[in-house]
Amino acid sequence: MKAVLQRVNQARVVVKGEVIGEIGQGFLMLVCAEQGDAPAQADKLLAKVLKLRVFADEAGKMNRSLQDLDGQGARGGLLIVSQFTLAADVSGGNRPSFTGAADPALGRALYEHLVAQAQRLHAPVATGQFGADMQVHLVNDGPVTIPIHIPAASPASR
């Protein structure tokens, strides 16, 4: 699975003119399931995201995770948006190929698994809408943008 995390002061997703997901300070997580991915990749990705220390502590150092965003025990928001275009391959020319992305049924299943696990382990969690034409609005903080790739297990290790 691939993800791009953006540390944000606020973010929201709009579908057909209606806000369907919104957070304050936290992460906007654009996520893409790839061919060969399984729930194990989604679980590893989520574990990494929840523990990633890129929020400032009292000294201004990137030393806090999403789960301990402020000293009061409050957690940062997590807005999870499916984005199959993260699987784009532009090595063959100027038109991207998306053949590395999981097929829509698997992509949806893994996205829904990731969201369910995130909701179980963290709050608040908001989402986009799988397969929809979405407008994503954000106020990037920093900016801090981090790509993460959790490769599918090789057939020999499955």
- In a domain? residue 76: yes
Tell me, yes or no, whether 79 lies in a domain: yes
- Residue 106's Cα: distance from chain center in Å? 17
Residue 61, in any domain of the structure = yes
Burial of 56 (0-12, 13-18, 19+ CB in 10 A): middle
More confident residue, 148 or 70: 148
Q: Tell me if 63 is assigned to some domain.
A: yes
What is the domain count for the chain?
A: 1
pLDDT, residue 74, reads 58
Give the domain extent around 77.
2-153
pLDDT per residue as tens digits for the range 3-16: 999 999 999 999 99
Q: How does pLDDT run across 76-127, given as a tens digit for each residue?
A: 899 999 999 999 999 988 999 999 999 999 999 999 999 999 999 998 999 9
pLDDT band of 153, cuts 50, 70, 90: confident
Average of per-residue pLDDT across 30-46: 97
For residue 11, CA distances in Å to 69, 94, 158 come to: 16, 31, 37
Q: Is residue 29 part of a domain?
A: yes
What residues are labeled active site? Answer: 83-85
Tokens 């097929």 correspond to 103
Position 158 in a domain = no
- The domain that holds 55 is classified in CATH as 3.50.80.10
